[in-house]
């Protein structure tokens, strides 16, 4: 419905009338000469003529005239623009099922609108540019067709493509279509066992994980540049090898294929030496004693004491539960301590010999026993030093 109002200021009883775009009188004062019941009088006074127009159509569009019969006559104009919303947008795809990497084309049509609609394209959250084409029909309405061309990837599978129609007469007007994209498999080898290094004598279990559209129907295991070990067990997408040894080293490949193509993933096997383990000792303590005896003389007032012994002991105690394997670091430490002790001993002995080398008399008063008195004994003793035999003694 449209409301057409003609207002006059300071009217002097002049006649007011309303004309349509074809200059036909709709209302003359409060009378309706035009035989169109869609026009109805809303209000009439000396200062206003208000008329309603229901069920507006495109033919009602144009300039309406409010005319005041004065000398000379006065006129005012009002333009009516009729908006016609487009019909439901129609989206079409050239290919119903797409293949990864291929180019596809989609079209969207908004028919019979006024003014011409604007079409936008959205793929997911990303806007894509289209190529619009506008056609004017015989009834002065517009049909707009937009064409979209793009290349699909596997990430586009299940993504909606929306055709959005912008028009002043409607809001949130759109149509959408979900993409169906086929793609070749994606393959990944997962080591189920062992979790760490692969060693001789252990077992190996590999699982081939894959996905694709359509779902891969064939999965093969092979060894690059060689044959898979004869006792290897292949169950579906799993490969199982018992009792590994270094002859199994190499690259193992899982290949999956579907109607679009094939793909593979590689796993390089390197078998390490088996770990060397020894049982733990049940004894609580291991003790090593190294003893060195050194004899040296003691000189006291011209007498020689019996040799005394010096003991140097090296103890090595291992903690409870230590393994029986030979610890080279401990042996090296003990040997180093012994060698150091021997060197220190040699230095001490050398200094001792250098300071205590001399002449000793074992019979210092040999002539005193035969003397008749003390004076004779002293004389014989003093002279005895020159006549007595000398004896040198060394202790090594």
Helix (H) or strand (E) holding 127: strand 126-128
Helix (H) or strand (E) holding 5: strand 2-7
> Quick check: 266 and 191 in contact, CB under 8 A?
no
Quick check: do 87-179 and 184-269 share a fold? yes
Residue among 358, 354, 376, 355 nearest 367 (CA): 376
Q: How far is CA 372 from CA 363, 368, 379, 385, 387, in A?
A: 19, 9, 11, 19, 19
Residues forming a β-bridge with 80: 62
Superfamily (CATH) of domain 2-80:
Immunoglobulins (2.60.40.10)
Phi then psi dihedrals of residue 132, to 5 deg = -85, 155
Q: What's residue 306's pLDDT?
A: 41
Q: Where are the domains of the chain?
A: 2-80, 87-179, 184-269
pLDDT in tens, the chain (396 residues): 999 999 998 887 888 999 999 999 999 999 999 999 999 999 999 889 999 999 999 899 999 999 998 888 899 999 999 999 999 999 999 999 999 999 999 999 999 999 999 999 999 999 999 999 999 988 889 999 999 999 999 999 999 999 999 999 998 899 999 999 999 999 999 999 998 899 999 999 999 999 999 999 889 999 999 999 999 999 989 999 999 999 999 999 999 999 999 999 999 999 999 887 655 554 444 444 444 433 434 433 333 334 444 333 434 444 444 344 557 888 999 999 999 999 999 999 988 888 766 554 445 455 555 556 656 655 665 544 444 455 667 777
Q: What's residue 372's pLDDT?
A: 62
* Helices first, then strands: H and E counts in the chain: 2, 27
Query: How many other C-beta atoms are found inside a 10 Å radius of the C-beta of residue 48?
Result: 14
> Quick check: 244 and 204 in contact, CB under 8 A?
yes
Q: What's residue 69's pLDDT?
A: 86
pTM above 0.75, yes or no: no
Q: Locate all alpha helices (DSSP H) within the chain, ordered by sequence.
A: 328-356, 374-387
> CB-hemisphere CA count at 13 Å for 21?
10
Phi then psi dihedrals of residue 393, to 5 deg = -125, 135
The CATH code of the domain at 184-269 is: 2.60.40.10
286-303 as b/e: b if 16+ CB within 10 A = eeeeeeeeeeeeeeeeee
Query: How many other C-beta atoms are found inside a 10 Å radius of the C-beta of residue 160?
Result: 11
Q: What's residue 10's pLDDT?
A: 80
Please give the CATH architecture assigned to the domain spanning 87-179. Sandwich (2.60)
Residue among 117, 167, 8, 139 nearest 73 (CA): 8
């Amino acid at each position: 419905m449209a409301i057409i109002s003609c207002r006059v200021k300071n009217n002097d009883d002049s006649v007011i009338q309303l004309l349509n775009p074809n200059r036909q009188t709709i209302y003359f004062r409060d009378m309706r000469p035009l035989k169109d019941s869609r026009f109805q009088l809303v209000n009439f006074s000396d200062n206003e003529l208000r008329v309603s127009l229901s069920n507006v159509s495109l033919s009602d569009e144009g300039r309406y005239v409010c005319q005041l019969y004065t000398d000379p006559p006065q006129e005012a104009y009002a333009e009516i623009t009729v908006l016609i919303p487009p019909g439901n947008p129609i989206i079409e795809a050239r290919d119903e099922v797409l293949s990864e990497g291929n180019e596809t084309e989609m079209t969207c049509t908004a028919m019979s609108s006024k003014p011409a609609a604007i079409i936008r394209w959205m793929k997911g959250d990303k806007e894509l540019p289209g190529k619009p084409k506008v056609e004017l029909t015989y009834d002065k309405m517009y049909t707009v067709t937009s064409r979209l061309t793009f290349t699909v990837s596997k990430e586009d599978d299940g993504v909606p493509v929306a055709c959005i129609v912008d028009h002043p007469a409607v809001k949130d007007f759109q149509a959408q279509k979900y993409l169906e994209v086929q793609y070749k498999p994606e393959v990944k080898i997962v080591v189920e066992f062992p979790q760490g290094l692969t060693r001789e004598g252990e077992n190996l279990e590999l699982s081939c994980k894959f996905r694709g559209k359509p779902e891969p129907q064939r999965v093969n295991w092979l060894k690059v540049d060689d044959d898979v070990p004869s006792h290897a067990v292949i169950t579906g997408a799993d490969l199982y090898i018992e009792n590994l040894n270094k002859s199994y080293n190499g690259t193992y490949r899982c290949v999956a294929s579907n109607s679009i193509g094939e793909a593979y993933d590689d796993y390089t096997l390197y078998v390490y030496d088996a770990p060397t383990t020894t049982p733990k000792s049940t004894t609580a303590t291991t003790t090593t004693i190294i003893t060195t005896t050194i004899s040296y003389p003691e000189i006291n007032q011209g007498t020689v004491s019996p040799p005394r012994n010096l003991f140097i002991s090296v103890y090595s105690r291992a903690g409870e539960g230590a393994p029986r394997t030979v610890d080279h670091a401990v042996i090296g430490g003990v040997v180093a301590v012994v060698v150091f002790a021997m060197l220190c001993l040699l230095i001490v002995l050398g200094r001792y010999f250098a300071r205590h080398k001399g002449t000793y008399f074992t019979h210092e008063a040999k002539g005193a026993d035969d003397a008749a008195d003390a004076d004779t004994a002293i004389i014989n003793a003093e002279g005895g030093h020159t006549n007595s035999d000398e004896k040198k003694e060394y202790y090594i």
